Chain A
Amino acid sequence: NAGVTQTPKFRVLKTGQSMTLLCAQDMNHEYMYWYRQDPGMGLRLIHYSVGEGTTAKGEVPDGYNVSRLKKQNFLLGLESAAPSQTSVYFCASSYSTDTQYFGPGTRLTVL
């Protein structure tokens, strides 16, 4: 039982490049979330999903897209990376409105 895993752990991009972050959970949770963490700002919700095939915008969705083709996976895409997207990205999953379980994070730097 691995919980929530994230791939990759670190990544450096140049401005304008694209990439996809993968989140996988093995707890059969319906709900999944993508957050970004920036110093002094806590965690802010980017997008979330309440089930396979559904996604919704969170607090800071601009510049990101997501897909939930399989229940266990939640992908976060950056189509054209900008320096403002330098951050630590966390994925989480939950069963309904209960406790969210977090992955270890992905540290992204955009030059």
Chain B
Amino acid sequence: AQSVTQPDIHITVSEGASLELRCNYSYGATPYLFWYVQSPGQGLQLLLKYFSGDTLVQGIKGFEAEFKRSQSSFNLRKPSVHWSDAAEYFCAVGLGQGGKLIFGQGTELSVKP
């Protein structure tokens, strides 16, 4: 069955430090992969997506993610975290049919001064 796992429920990083959020998926075909961010009390906003081509994708707010087929991973990275990046981050895999997404459990990011 298709699934998405985000191993880290909560991560705390210092402002200015680098960040990597992990995402592993289980899907038989070539996946469509997404990272969304949710600020408190808000809906989800797309950070970046991978459909095909270059396995390193750039997104908004200085985020990037790398698709590694051999590891079934799509980890999100940012070289220098800002306090405004504190939010919950969701990885998702697109199933193709009907545009359905399967989401991971989410990783809550806290940023300390």
Please measure, in the bound complex, the distance between the C-alpha atom of A33 and the C-alpha atom of B102, giving whole angstroms. 12
Q: Is A74 an interface residue (CB 8 A)?
A: no
Q: Which residues of the other chain, A, contact B4 by a CB distance below 8 angstroms? A: 42
Interface members, chain A 73-111 (any B CB < 8 Å): 90, 92, 94, 96-105
Selected contact of A94 from candidates B44, B99, B102, CB within 8 Å:
B99
- On chain A, the number of residues with a Cβ less than 8 Å from chain B's Cβ atoms is 26
CB distance from B14 to the nearest CB of A (A): 25
Q: Is B96 an interface residue (CB 8 A)?
A: yes
Q: Are A105 and B43 in contact (CB under 8 A)?
A: yes
Q: Which residues of the other chain, A, contact B36 by a CB distance below 8 angstroms? A: 102
**Contact A102 to B45, CB < 8 A, known contacts A45-B100, A48-B100, A97-B99:** yes
Chain A's closest residue to B95 (CB) is A97
Q: Are B105 and A97 in contact (CB under 8 A)?
A: no
Q: Are A97 and B94 in contact (CB under 8 A)?
A: yes
Q: Are A96 and B99 in contact (CB under 8 A)?
A: yes
Selected contact of B43 from candidates A40, A58, A90, A99, CB within 8 Å:
A90
**Contact A40 to B100, CB < 8 A, known contacts A102-B45, A103-B43:** no
Q: Are B98 and A50 in contact (CB under 8 A)?
A: yes
Binding site for A on B (CB under 8 A): 4, 9, 32, 34, 36, 41-46, 49, 90, 94, 96, 98-106
Binding site for B on A (CB under 8 A): 4, 31, 33, 40-45, 48, 50, 56, 58, 90, 92, 94, 96-105
Sample of 12 further A-B pairs with CB below 8 A, known A33-B100, A43-B90, A104-B42? A4-B43, A41-B105, A42-B104, A42-B106, A48-B99, A48-B100, A56-B98, A98-B99, A99-B46, A100-B99, A103-B43, A105-B41
